[in-house]
Amino acid sequence: MLDQTHAPGLRSFVASANGHPDFPIQNLPLGIFSTVGTSLRGGVAIGDSVLDLPALADADLLTGAAADAAAATASGSLNALFALGAGPRQALRAALSALLAEGSAKQAQVEKFLYPTSDVTLHLPARIGDYTDFYAGIQHAENVGRQFRPDNPLLPNYKYVPIGYHGRASSVVLTGTALHRPKGQRKPASETVPSYGPCRNLDYELELGIWIGQGNALGEEIAIADAASHIAGYCLLNDWSARDIQGWEYQPLGPFLAKSFGTTISPWVITPEALAPFRIAQAPRPNGDPAPLPYLWDEADQAGGAIDLRLDVLLMTPGLKEKGLPPHLLGRSNTKHLYWTPAQFVAHHSGNGCNLNPGDLFGSGTISGPSESAYGSLLEITNGGRKPVTLASGEERRFLEDGDEIFLVARAEKDGVAGIGFGECRGTILPAR
């Protein structure tokens, strides 16, 4: 799994990459960018720069499968590259690593295709045909379930079924896109009939996003042993949630308008190769929990299918900004707390023959850890709004207010390995229209 592209001592001639918190040469995440007056195309983040992928292929700086992978991004989305599968993506990584390394014989030619990230516009990395949100954060499921069923927080299916729902692809937006507070039907217990108006209990959800690579034909399932090879990469995902609208609308069919007003993702696709050093065993299930059914069980997936990735949620409010105070750390969690692996999502989703397509997006579900400081939503942190958070500015928050900004941050670290990050995933809430 690990090769010379992961070597901790590897450095790039792009000086800003060396020691970069997110994008050292060991990361090489893929995205879609444009510069003023040019069309959208694929790029790779290296330090504070973006390298133009189709231009490298056009200039014959790449050959074979790596050139095919780079050229596939010329259409302005990564869907065609995702469809090529793992081999060409891995060839591209190896070639980019060599081209960008310190001492690269091609440095002068490569430099012509580097742009400062501050000068480019980033776009959604893929045309998202379908977006599915899972519910695999078991601490979150227990914390939320406890608010409604104190003695029996998890429903009987939870430990057998990777629970999910079909989300809305059209309203997935890139980091930095401000969203208006949604309006909808609200019916607090104190009122006898619902009213339509701005959400009063607006929340975020800290999630891992999963990009689907090669898909499957309708009617064909993806075996759990092959499932990981259908994942093209990962991102951060904020599943904004209108809790009051959700509480009224969700029975009996589940989330709908409380979720579909917006989902924010980070722009860079962090490849499975970049995350290889941070793979860990799936945590053993507690005594008494059922084993996953055979179609969800694979020894290799259990041995290395989970990811050790630290996740932070930060809140910036108008009051903090006004006083020059830093953002408030709402929670610090880790993807290792997920009850199901990404490969299990793929095997389950396709287990009925449902066809997945390149560029489909999954959300993991809110990733809360076991302690209160690791909760991934305000619903949990404030116990449904009953216990407000007090900020250094003197402000209080039960749920999000207009002007609040949520930042998600991911960081993978391990001794003897170059750490990597995901780049930013942030969004501001504007007043309801």
Least distance (Å) between residue 239 CB and Mn ion: 4
Least distance (Å) between residue 166 CB and Mn ion: 12
In this structure, the strands spanning 49-52 and 41-46 are: antiparallel
* CB closer to Mn ion out of 54 and 365: 365
Which segment (56-64, 194-202, 235-243, 411-419) binds Mn ion by CB under 5 A? Answer: 235-243
Dist CA 144 CA 150 (whole Å): 10
Least distance (Å) between residue 102 CB and Mn ion: 42
Least distance (Å) between residue 222 CB and Mn ion: 23
Which segment (125-133, 312-320, 353-361, 406-414) binds Mn ion by CB under 5 A? Answer: 125-133
State yes or no: is 140 an active-site residue.
Answer: yes
Say how many C-beta atoms besides its own lie within 10 A of residue 327's C-beta. Answer: 18
* CB closer to Mn ion out of 125 and 363: 363
The burial of 118, by beta-carbon neighbours within 10 Å (0-12 exposed, 13-18 middle, 19 or more buried), is given as exposed
Residue whose C-beta lies closest to Mn ion? 239
> What does the per-residue mask of binding to Mn ion show for 155-194, with x meaning CB under 5 A?
----------------------------------------
Say how many C-beta atoms besides its own lie within 10 A of residue 214's C-beta. Answer: 18
* Residue 133 binds Mn ion (CB under 5 A): yes
* CB closer to Mn ion out of 68 and 207: 207
Q: With contact defined as beta carbons under 8 Å apart, do 413 and 26 qualify?
A: no
* Residue 52 binds Mn ion (CB under 5 A): no
Q: What would the two tokens of residue 214 be?
A: 């090669």
Least distance (Å) between residue 168 CB and Mn ion: 12
Which segment (239-247, 385-393, 400-408, 409-417) binds Mn ion by CB under 5 A? Answer: 239-247
Dist CA 195 CA 184 (whole Å): 8
* Residue 203 binds Mn ion (CB under 5 A): no
> Among 391, 366, 404, which Cα is nearest to 236's?
366
* CB closer to Mn ion out of 43 and 342: 342
Least distance (Å) between residue 246 CB and Mn ion: 10
Figure out which of the listed residues 52, 68, 239, 405 binds Mn ion, where binding follows CB under 5 A: 239
What percent of the chain is helix, strand and coil (3-state, nearest 5)?
A: 25, 25, 50
* Residue 380 binds Mn ion (CB under 5 A): no
* CB closer to Mn ion out of 43 and 369: 369
What angle, 0 to 180 degrees and rounded to 10, lies between the N-to-C axes of helices 64-71 and 86-100? Answer: 100
* Residue 205 binds Mn ion (CB under 5 A): yes
> Among 3, 50, 16, 18, which Cα is nearest to 418's?
18
Dist CA 253 CA 365 (whole Å): 17
Dist CA 52 CA 371 (whole Å): 43
Q: With contact defined as beta carbons under 8 Å apart, do 30 and 269 qualify?
A: yes
Least distance (Å) between residue 210 CB and Mn ion: 13
Per annotation, catalytic residue among 140, 328, 337, 349: 140
Dist CA 67 CA 47 (whole Å): 22
End-to-end alpha carbon distance in the chain? 50
Which segment (128-136, 165-173, 244-252, 335-343) binds Mn ion by CB under 5 A? Answer: 128-136
Dist CA 157 CA 162 (whole Å): 9
Q: What would the two tokens of residue 203 be?
A: 């929340």
* CB closer to Mn ion out of 205 and 395: 205
* CB closer to Mn ion out of 168 and 186: 168
Q: Where are the alpha helices (DSSP H) in 115-176?
A: 138-148
> What does the per-residue mask of binding to Mn ion show for 384-423, with x meaning CB under 5 A?
----------------------------------------
State the catalytic residues: 140
- Interaction site with Mn ion (CB under 5 A): 133, 205, 239
